[in-house]
């Protein structure tokens, strides 16, 4: 089997409510849909999902002008060979290049699964669990709005809520205290600073008061390359430190381990360059005794399916993941997104990624 064509279409997906955090506010996601065709008539689909920096239209051009010609003529079932070719042409540190590569790799995995008649999780190593536990992320908002969102999440069966922090003054502490009082002690609360602080001392002053209310995890309080400062902070916190922006490619895992900068890895399928690359990142962490969870760019149904397949495969998934994107949007690009209910994400059992694209939706959302 040979790849004959790789194309990408940019789309805009409107969210029910904006995501507001340190980086800004997003009410519409500009993503991309990748299509891989083969000489045997099989078609695979992938999704470009990146919320910041270079997004849909620019990354679709990366696919059509650089990545597509690179893998054209290769066998889509040879994922390592295709991934190596894309790595050589578009290295991960390129702004957004990881998401473009991830969209192509998803489509290749979709084709490979369809050719074998197997769901993607079987090609990635087989299941370690049946479902992926998930949390409900809550953006910046008033105390009252945040408490209401947390209560709705608990009522929907989510065992963990994730609160965005990083605001000046004592507002973060007030919000965390109010949410804890509202949801009780049986619901886990994790907080995400999105690199809001500039030093370990500043972060410690802001985070210590929050720890009094019982936190599950503290996510990325400092800039991504401040690993030594993160290590200093980690030694002084009681709560495990979750690294997100510091963990965007496979080599980052080695640096985190070498410097003792974190306790938990936040691995994104989109940021690692695809499902197979994400599985490698989890394995690298496991070899060093680290656990992880799956991060999210608020993906639509295609990429959420890819995340679900990764999540049931990796053995060191230790906390609830953030992959609940399809619940955030007015319309999806697949007919039936993966099921998210009762605090878990369920991987489709059909061959490949296991979801069917909706051509009318893609055309309507095209930008």
What pLDDT digit, counting tens, does each position of 186-238 carry?
999 999 999 999 999 999 999 999 999 999 999 999 999 999 999 999 999 99
Q: What is the mean pLDDT of the chain?
A: 96
Residues 188 and 321 occupy one common structural domain: yes
Domain count across the chain: 2
Residues 199 and 280 occupy one common structural domain: yes
Task: Give the strand pairing for 43-48 and 24-38.
Answer: antiparallel
| Full domain range(s) for residue 187 | 122-355
DSSP at 66: I
DSSP string, 268-327: -HHHHTSHHHHHHHHHHHHHTT-EEEE--S---HHHHHHHHHHHHH-TTB-S-B---GGG
Q: What is the pLDDT of residue 120?
A: 98
Residues 34 and 155 occupy one common structural domain: no
Residues 249 and 270 occupy one common structural domain: yes
Residues 209 and 185 occupy one common structural domain: yes
Q: How many CA atoms lie within 13 A of 67 on its CB side?
A: 36
Mean pLDDT computed over 78-91: 94
Q: Is the dihedral of CA 299, 303, 304, 309 positive or negative?
A: negative
Task: Give the strand pairing for 340-341 and 344-345.
Answer: antiparallel
Residues 101 and 215 occupy one common structural domain: no
CATH of the domain at 253: 3.20.20.120
Residues 199 and 303 occupy one common structural domain: yes
Q: What is the pLDDT of residue 94?
A: 60
CATH of the domain at 30: 3.30.390.10
Q: Which residues share a beta bridge with 137?
A: 162
Alpha carbon of residue 100 to chain centroid: 14
Residues 100 and 244 occupy one common structural domain: no
Residues 33 and 126 occupy one common structural domain: no
Residues 73 and 145 occupy one common structural domain: no
What pLDDT digit, counting tens, does each position of 226-283 carry?
999 999 999 999 999 999 999 998 999 999 999 999 999 999 999 999 999 999 999 9
Residue pair 114/351 in contact (Cβ under 8 Å)? The answer is yes
């Amino acid at each position: 089997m040979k790849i004959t064509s790789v194309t990408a279409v940019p789309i805009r997906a409107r969210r029910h409510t904006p995501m507001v955090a340190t980086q800004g506010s997003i009410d519409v996601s500009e993503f991309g849909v990748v299509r891989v065709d083969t000489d045997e008539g099989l078609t695979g689909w992938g999704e470009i999902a990146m919320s910041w920096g270079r997004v849909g239209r620019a990354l679709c051009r990366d696919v059509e002008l650089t990545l597509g010609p690179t893998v054209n003529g290769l066998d889509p079932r040879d994922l390592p060979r295709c991934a190596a070719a894309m790595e050589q042409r578009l290295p991960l540190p390129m702004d957004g290049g990881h998401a473009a590569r991830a969209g192509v790799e998803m489509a290749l995995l979709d084709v490979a699964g369809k050719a074998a008649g197997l769901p993607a999780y079987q090609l990635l190593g087989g299941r370690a669990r049946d479902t992926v536990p998930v949390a409900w992320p809550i953006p910046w908002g008033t105390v009252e709005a945040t408490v209401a969102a947390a209560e709705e999440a608990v009522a929907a069966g989510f065992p963990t809520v994730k609160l965005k922090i990083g605001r000046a003054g004592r507002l973060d502490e007030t919000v965390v205290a109010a949410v804890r009082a509202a949801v009780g002690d049986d619901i886990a609360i994790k907080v995400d600073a999105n690199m809001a602080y500039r030093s370990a001392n500043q972060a410690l002053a802001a985070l210590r008061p929050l720890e009094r209310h019982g936190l599950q995890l503290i996510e990325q309080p400092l800039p991504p390359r401040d690993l030594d400062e993160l290590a200093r902070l980690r030694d002084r916190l009681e709560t495990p430190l979750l690294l997100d922006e510091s963990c965007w490619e496979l080599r980052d895992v080695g640096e985190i381990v070498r410097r003792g900068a974190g306790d938990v890895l936040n691995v994104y399928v989109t940021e690692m360059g695809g499902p197979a690359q994400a599985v490698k990142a989890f394995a690298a962490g496991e070899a060093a005794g680290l656990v992880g969870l799956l991060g999210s760019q608020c993906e639509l149904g295609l990429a959420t399916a890819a995340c679900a397949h990764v999540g049931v495969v990796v053995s060191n998934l230790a906390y609830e993941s953030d992959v609940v994107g399809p619940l955030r949007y007015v319309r999806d690009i697949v007919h039936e997104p993966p099921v998210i209910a009762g605090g878990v994400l369920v991987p489709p059992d059909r061959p490949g990624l296991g979801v069917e694209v909706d051509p009318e939706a893609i055309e309507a959302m095209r930008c």
